[in-house]
Structure 1
Amino acid sequence: MKNNRKVVSMKLEHINITVPDAKAHAAVLVTLFDWHVRWQGMALDDGFTVHVGTDDGYLALYSPPWELTGIERRYHQRAGMNHIGVVVDDIEATEARVKAAGFTTHSHADYEPGRRFYFDGPDDVEYEVVSYA
């Protein structure tokens, strides 16, 4: 059976996650990935949001005015966020910056179509770093 659906171009613009301190989390990502703060300001329920990333896509980091509860086990809750994947040109240089910032890298893999590693970043958010270069 042939699929006659029209192919639509799509790109992910942003992901919005809740963190205890959006400014501090964003500062780490700026250092690790050479990103920039696109916007920051007051947000929902008197919280604060920082949009950090590139001109093409970003993470919206939201901090509410109340204390946050603990993180659930990844891959074990419905609609839970497991990790955020970031594509880089130079995986070795990025891994060096990640380690210099005090994070431990793990789960290295080298398979088609790219090389990758993971690390638990600020606020226990797991990042997958991949290079297709």
Structure 2
Amino acid sequence: MTNGKLEHVNITVSDPQRSAALLRDLFGWHIRWEGPSMSDGHTIHIGTDDDYIALYTNQEVRADDPMFNKGEPMNHIGVTVDDLDAVEAKVIAAGLEPFNHGDYAPGRRFYFFDWNGIEWEVVSYN
């Protein structure tokens, strides 16, 4: 039997520097790699030593493009944290709006949309 482990998720964003700064601030992640990528684009890999989010953009990506609306089939990206309240305060300080708070077994959680319409779920099992 082979056990798989998620290594990364690749998402398109309008401003990878801004998105990377938010993820670094919220989750304590670091930039693992940054450089040119396909279609004359630019990518930042941000995460831990074991896994990461790839933030991709190119000159055709615009924040006002309808392709950035929350879409199918991806619903959200979930991240676990130790201190849910501290992360929520940082989300608010970034000008983003937490919603759909849930305090139920086995943990507490909230959601927010980033500037690209990507939905994030932040959950704590502490």
Task: Return the TM-score normalized by structure 1.
Answer: 0.84
RMSD: 1.7
The separation in 2 between residues aligned to 1:31 and 1:119, in whole angstroms, is 15
The separation in 2 between residues aligned to 1:72 and 1:32, in whole angstroms, is 22
1:71 aligns with 2:67: yes
Alpha-carbon deviations, 1:11-39, whole Å to 9, x = none? 21100011112122111111121111110
The separation in 2 between residues aligned to 1:24 and 1:127, in whole angstroms, is 16
Q: Which has the larger radius of gyration?
A: 1
The separation in 2 between residues aligned to 1:57 and 1:45, in whole angstroms, is 24
Q: 1:72 to 1:23 in 2, by over 3 A?
A: closer
1:132 aligns with 2:125: yes
Gaps of 5+ in 2: none
DSSP 3-state at the match of 2:36: strand
Q: Which residue pairs with 2:14 in the alignment?
A: 20
The separation in 2 between residues aligned to 1:65 and 1:73, in whole angstroms, is 18
Q: Following TM superposition, by how much is the alpha carbon of 1:126 offset from its aligned partner in structure 2, in angstroms? A: 1.0
Alpha-carbon deviations, 1:19-78, whole Å to 9, x = none? 112122111111121111110000001100000111121100110221343136546x3x
Q: Which residue pairs with 1:62 in the alignment?
A: 56
Q: Which residue pairs with 1:116 in the alignment?
A: 109
Task: Return the TM-score normalized by structure 2.
Answer: 0.88
Number of aligned residues: 124
> 4+ runs of 1 displaced by more than 4 Å?
none
